[in-house]
Amino acid sequence: MPSNRPETRYAKSGDLNIAYQVVGDGPLDLIYVPGWISNVELNWEEPSHAHVLERLSSFSRLILFDKRGTGLSDPVPLDAMPTLEERMDDVRAVLDAVECEEAALFGFSEGGLMSVLFAATYPERISALVLYGTFAKRVRTPDYPWAPSPEERAVELEELERNWSVRMDLDNLAPSEDDAFKDRLATYFRRSASPGAALALMRMNTQLDVRDVLRSIQAPTLVIHRSDDRDVKVEEGRWITSQIPSATFVELPGDSHTLWAGNTDEVVDEIEEFLTGVRRGPEPDRVLATVLFTDIVGSTEQATKLGDRRWRELLEQHHGLVRRQLELYQGRELDTAGDGFFAMFDGPARAIRAAQAIAGGVRPLGIEIRAGVHTGECELHEGKIAGIAVSTGARVAAAAGPSEVLVSHTVKDLVAGSGIEFEDRGTRELKGVPGEWRLYSVAA
């Protein structure tokens, strides 16, 4: 997830305000048209959803928006749900607001219908079209036998109205995900639209049919579908591809209809390669890193002695000093809790020197810190690191004495030849960390 979430802005579409965000600075503009309902800010609260958007923004300037009547965009009367034409107006308003003359268009599920119509209507503004899990119509007819029957669709509408206040049945959208994921998805829907708006949109979607538009699409088109999608049959994706001139069809394994469930990286891999010609894959999920933990010795006693106001002032001085040293030695602050810091370095020698500088720098403030340094393989997730190496670093720090920089044997071995000297502190067991660890104190 981006360290700073994208700013939500508003574009004027007629009399309505359309919420949008822009993230990434890649060489191509990509506008994402969400499915049924969305919320541009809640998108970043679900890790799997944020991961998909972050990957898309890694090779594009990604433009996100909420359709009128949903999310953070202006509501609309329930008896006047937006037509596809009005939704196209919203897309044009957002593109104009971000000064985008031409973009690739990515439509998910119901968002694919408007994307199809937009690509056919405004070919000069669309460089490419990507459709995922898209249908051409939502009610079965003899010439479109894959959609739900009128009776099945009526049951879906009844169940939605009855279950909106509790966890709705989402087995068709993400059948292989656990209950916790489905609970979060249901919450996302409830926070993205009122029950009346969700029902009105579903009724309107039941009437949509873009089959006659497909042959008018001129943009290069990629259609992606999971083979066992229960909500929108894979046959619909194949048929849509057959109707669009020169479209490419990619069938991926999986049974989830929801974009951010299942094998999301495979979906994004296909999109990236189609739009850029390059398949980079997801960022590595493990990285070798050096972690530094520091905290103030006797902080509770110090706070009691100084009082709240003086203690806050002292903490501000401490924090400022630590951050200056992290910047000087190319460390990255990952977390700050109370009087402690957690930082990451790409080299152990810099981490040690930063720790020494911090330990020496805070003494004139009348305080001492303890510090621990460890290098190991860490799990990388949303710009943060975790795993046993992080836990080890924290336990090494806890074992340090006042003004001491304590390191693991791994760190000592890696900085050989750096001129840093150590004193052997012997072998210890670290709480919650397997095995015994030989620790060394950095010589003053």
Instruction: Give the list of residues 6+ apart from residue 154 with CB closer than 8 angstroms, or none.
Output: none
**What pLDDT score was predicted for residue 2?**
45
Which amino acid makes up residue 438? R
Band of residue 435 on the pLDDT scale cut at 50, 70, 90: confident
CB of 392 within 8 A of CB of 437? yes
- Whether 9-276 shares its CATH topology with 286-442 is answered no
Q: How many residues appear in the chain? A: 444
Band of residue 231 on the pLDDT scale cut at 50, 70, 90: very high
Task: Look at residues 241, 240, 256, 250 and name the one whose alpha carbon lies nearest to residue 279.
Answer: 250
**What pLDDT score was predicted for residue 42?**
94
**Model confidence at 64: pLDDT above 70:** yes
Domains of the chain: which residue ranges?
9-276, 286-442
Percent of the chain whose pLDDT exceeds 90: 72
pTM metric for this prediction: 0.67
Band of residue 81 on the pLDDT scale cut at 50, 70, 90: confident
State the fold for domain 286-442: Alpha-Beta Plaits (3.30.70)
CB of 253 within 8 A of CB of 234? no
Angle at 93 between CA 37 and CA 114, to 5 degrees: 45
Tell me what the mean pLDDT of segment 305-314 comes to. Answer: 90
Higher-scoring residue by pLDDT: 382, 429: 429
- Rounded Cα distance between 396 and 291, Å, is 10
Tell me what the mean pLDDT of segment 35-49 comes to. Answer: 93
Tokens 């249901």 correspond to 186
**What pLDDT score was predicted for residue 238?**
98
Which amino acid makes up residue 410? T
Task: Look at residues 258, 185, 164, 267 and name the one whose alpha carbon lies nearest to residue 223.
Answer: 267
Q: pLDDT tens for residues 149-169?
A: 999 999 988 888 888 866 666
**What pLDDT score was predicted for residue 382?**
64
**What pLDDT score was predicted for residue 178?**
86
CB of 39 within 8 A of CB of 21? no
Pick from 92-106, 194-208, 279-293, 322-336: least confident: 279-293
CB of 367 within 8 A of CB of 302? yes
**What pLDDT score was predicted for residue 293?**
97
CATH number of 9-276: 3.40.50.1820
Tell me what the mean pLDDT of segment 131-147 comes to. Answer: 96
195, containing H or E segment? helix 195-207
Task: Look at residues 321, 286, 322, 290 and name the one whose alpha carbon lies nearest to residue 418.
Answer: 290
Q: Within 10 A of 435 (CB to CB), how many other CB atoms are there?
A: 8
**What pLDDT score was predicted for residue 384?**
78
Pick from 167-181, 200-214, 428-442: least confident: 167-181
Cα separation of the two ends of the chain? 39
CB of 32 within 8 A of CB of 63? yes
Higher-scoring residue by pLDDT: 3, 73: 73
Q: How do strand 103-108 and strand 126-132 relate by DSSP bridges? A: parallel
326, containing H or E segment? helix 308-328
